[in-house]
Structure 1
Amino acid sequence: MADIETVKRQFEAVLHNVSDDVRSQFLSWIKNKINSGEWGDVTREKSNEDVMLESIQSDLRSELPVNAVSHTENIHFPQTGPNADCDPSTTVHVDAFLYDEDAIDDLCEDGKMSRNYCTRCGSQEVQPLTFITHSASAAQVKYILNYALPDLSGKNVLDVGSRIHAVLYGYSESFTCIWY
């Protein structure tokens, strides 16, 4: 049986060798397994970083509309590549930094958002909406700042046009933030 350090290295190797999309899906799967209790009672204490991110997310949610698009922004759908098949009339913009799957579920349960649309008015033929984000999730931000970038302690970081500055919230206590 492997020791914890070996398991950690193997886990990090798996995460390092997959695309961002697959990594995100894999980590969501792990989270769901833990939350479902399928692997027993796996609990973890929230770090100060997690508490700070959740506080920032909560504050931003209270200031922005549910889709997190301000009246001064224009969201443009991709014309080529990933998500080029999105139909603007059936695609919902959801900010991944502000709303994870659990938060979206809560919005749907509260009637503030729907996951489906009616293909014919009045019928029961419904199709799922397409969800798209133009932001990194909190987990992706934490990964980028803790593993993908070098140590930014004592550095100045200039954030130009990243919408709600999610990247800076992920690790802002170790470097000076400047945004426009």
Structure 2
Amino acid sequence: MKNLIKRYKFFIVTIVIVGIITIFNKELGLKSLGIAGFSLKEMALVIPPVFILLGLLDIWVPKETMIKFMGEGSGIKGVILSIIIGSAAAGPLYGAFPVAAVFMKKGVKFTNILIFIGAWSTTKIPMLLFEISALGKTFALTRLAIDIPGIIIIAYILAAFTSKDEIKKIYKNAEKL
């Protein structure tokens, strides 16, 4: 029981604070509960499809294939594939992290995982299409031309500043999931 309380202490404290706020300001408390409910509903619609696709990726794509195309010796092909997969992804950024964990289990190079997460957050195809229609082709393509090299540079800098031991810990934690 103590472990359960310790594990969910932030959630419990948040519920207590929202309860106190609701007592003093019913409108604000109900509004915060509505926002929390909306977020939970959104996550409930996004997370199951992500996990289904992850299960399929885990079963259908052999580790050797992932290492060949996105592993340590993949070079530019791994970078390009990371950008394409991240750009083609759908859903909010929190959906990228379970995918990154599966990539780690499959032996994908750390830099390519960082590039994938950067592409997921910045270069999504639907967002590009929206920008072209709303802000113009010049703006959208200029932003993309700046973002892609930026993502790659940041990924390599992060990988350079992260120790080999820390990277091993990250991969080891991903294996536990």
With normalisation by structure 2, the TM-score equals 0.26
With normalisation by structure 1, the TM-score equals 0.26
Q: Which has the larger radius of gyration?
A: 2
Structure with higher strand content: 1
